[in-house]
Structure 1
Amino acid sequence: MLRLLRTYGLAMVLLTFVAFPLYWMTLTSLKPQTEVFRVPPTFLPATWTLEHYVNLFWLTDFGLLFWNSLKVCLLSTALSLAVGILGAYALARFNVRGKEAYGRLVLLAYMFPGALLVIPLLLLFRELGLTNSHLGLSLAYLTFSLPFVMWVMRDFFASVPVDLEEAAMIDGATRLGALWDVVLPQAVPGIIATGIFAFLFAWNEYLYALILISDESLRTLPPGMMRFVSTTDTNWGLIMAASTLATLPMALAFGLIQRYLVTGMGAGGVKG
């Protein structure tokens, strides 16, 4: 009984530590501006208001920023999964020279900070005419989402029995047909897990979105929200409202597919 109490007590402490910033962000967005800086602070608003959310949509282009981020992240995630699944399957199934070394190099590319790649990408995209476009930004996000997808999905595919694919090919299926009809249905938890993390990487990314996009109408949320901060005034209620709405989609996604995330990440760590 004492051990159970310690376990639940530690879990509650960790939950409070992690959840309190989210709680404070949400409550601040529901306070009037005069109450945001009240000393001592109020842990529940004395006056509840939605003025910051109304101002967010009427006085700023938050809706456009949100849509731009959603479009870029969906495109980036789709490209990462399409290319990463094929690459991971090749690494897991084909016996080619240097396969293990290449797999480690893929993970090594994921370890480089994005700041080292942004200038070469900017010069390359300028030559290709991909700067200041959502397609170019989505392709830039592949530099850190694609290695992650390939590394996780490789171990996941390796845990799927080869006999199932061989049986499908004996019945007349092609290699791609066996991948589509046999392997991918069993890999759904892993695909969902890696897809969510690839989407999250792109959703929170700031540096590439700031440098590769200069047109204000094409800005995404992270650099776009920085316009709410100025040298003379910072509307914290507006920033907290924007942050709450930007966090809400991912929080809902994690809550709805939590079991797929646990299954997918756990299975991705098992080698066949």
Structure 2
Amino acid sequence: MSALHRTRTAGTVLRHVLLIVGALIMLTPFVYMVSTSFKSQAYVLTIPPQFVPNPATLDNYVQVLTTQNFAAYFMNSVVVALTSTVISVLISSMMAYAFARFRFPGRELLFRLVLVGLMVPAMMLIIPQFILAKQLGLIDSLQGLIVFYVAASVSLNTFLLRGFFASIPGELDDAMQVDGANAWTRYWRLVMPLSTPALATTTIFTFLATWDEFAWALTIINDPAKRTLPLAIQLFQGQNATQWGLVFAASVVAVLPVIVVFLIFQKYFVQGLTTGAVKG
């Protein structure tokens, strides 16, 4: 075996070892969360930690699903996340198509103004958003969550989609235009079907951001009936002691929709992310 071959083999082994170590580091907290969700409160803080619950119990899941209107809070999150995702992706795709295909005065300036939204930390906007929501009558409503979630996600989505749209050959647009297709037809029947990877990427990002958002929901939601899932999970944390089994059981339930969405769109995720970040 040559020295070059041994070096390449050693490099391959090292990469695999590093990847396995990294995967274990990332998976360990999730595995411990799932394990703890099957433990009673008396066994949660045992030392050393037990990754295999003994004894195992389903009481945490029963309490989570049958107390404190958890199912209603879950549905609130579903409505808010799905509605915000659909509206955000639709608006962002239309804006991105205009920036990628049309030529008009101030186009680059307007696009850079859109990107300013990526540079402002979300927590800096809490107070002005609250004042605006109060003036618009959106306090203590799911609509107040949806409107501001959409506004918060439009900048990133437009950035990613514009890059992907710009990579689609313009000759396809020209051919449809010669056949009499207007701008809406070209956008809806040409660009959107060809942009599945980018749309999948923006869908994952938007759904994840809106599904587990906590700060803005805590700020404007006072009515218990309007609470979303992150606020519901907070209810299991008492002033003197945290019911970790319930918290982790609720967290497992909360993470399942995110996993489902990612599994549906994951085959397009990397392609859409890299294209949108590089092109345009």
What band does the TM-score fall into relative to the shorter chain? over 0.9
Match of 2:6 in 1: none
Does the alignment pair 1:151 with 2:142? no
What is the deviation of 1:60? 2.5
What is the deviation of 1:173? 0.9
Measure the CA separation in 1 of the matches of 2:234 and 2:73: 12
Name which of 6, 17, 41 aligns with 2:25.
Answer: 17
What is the deviation of 1:12? 0.5
Match of 1:69 in 2: 77
Name which of 73, 97, 112 aligns with 1:104.
Answer: 112
Amino acid at match of 2:238: S
Amino acid at match of 2:117: A
Match of 1:82 in 2: 90
Name which of 9, 15, 37 aligns with 1:7.
Answer: 15
Unaligned runs of 5+ in 2: 1-8
Match of 2:277 in 1: 269
State percent identity of aligned pairs.
38
Secondary structure of 1:179's partner?
helix
What is the deviation of 1:101? 2.4
TM-score normalized by the length of structure 2: 0.93
Name which of 136, 140, 143 aligns with 1:135.
Answer: 143
What is the deviation of 1:86? 0.8
Q: Contact 1:110/1:143 (CA < 8 Å) preserved in 2?
A: no
What is the deviation of 1:134? 0.9
Q: What is the total number of aligned residue pairs between the two structures?
A: 272
Q: Moved runs in structure 1, 4+ residues, more than 6 A? A: none
Amino acid at match of 1:94: F
Does the alignment pair 1:260 with 2:268? yes
Match of 1:193 in 2: 201
Q: Contact 2:204/2:265 (CA < 8 Å) preserved in 1?
A: no
TM-score normalized by the length of structure 1: 0.96
Does the alignment pair 1:219 with 2:248? no
Superposed, which structure 2 residues align to 1:200-211 within 5 Å? 200-211=208-219
Match of 2:40 in 1: 32
Task: Give me the CA root mean square deviation.
Answer: 1.4
Measure the CA separation in 1 of the matches of 2:231 and 2:66: 19
Measure the CA separation in 2 of the matches of 1:58 and 1:204: 21
Unaligned runs of 5+ in 1: none
Amino acid at match of 1:89: Y
Q: Which moved more, 1:242-251 or 1:109-118?
A: 109-118
What is the deviation of 1:185? 0.6
1:122-176 Cα deviation digits (max 9, x unpaired): 2222222221111121001123211111111011110011100110111111111
Superposed, which structure 2 residues align to 1:232-243 within 5 Å? 232-243=240-251
Measure the CA separation in 2 of the matches of 1:28 and 1:69: 24
Amino acid at match of 1:27: S
Q: Contact 2:40/2:57 (CA < 8 Å) preserved in 1?
A: yes
Measure the CA separation in 2 of the matches of 1:142 and 1:171: 35
Measure the CA separation in 2 of the matches of 1:246 and 1:4: 37
Q: Contact 1:159/1:270 (CA < 8 Å) preserved in 2?
A: no
Amino acid at match of 2:99: L
Measure the CA separation in 2 of the matches of 1:135 and 1:59: 25
Match of 2:3 in 1: none
Measure the CA separation in 1 of the matches of 2:49 and 2:125: 43
Q: Contact 2:163/2:276 (CA < 8 Å) preserved in 1?
A: yes
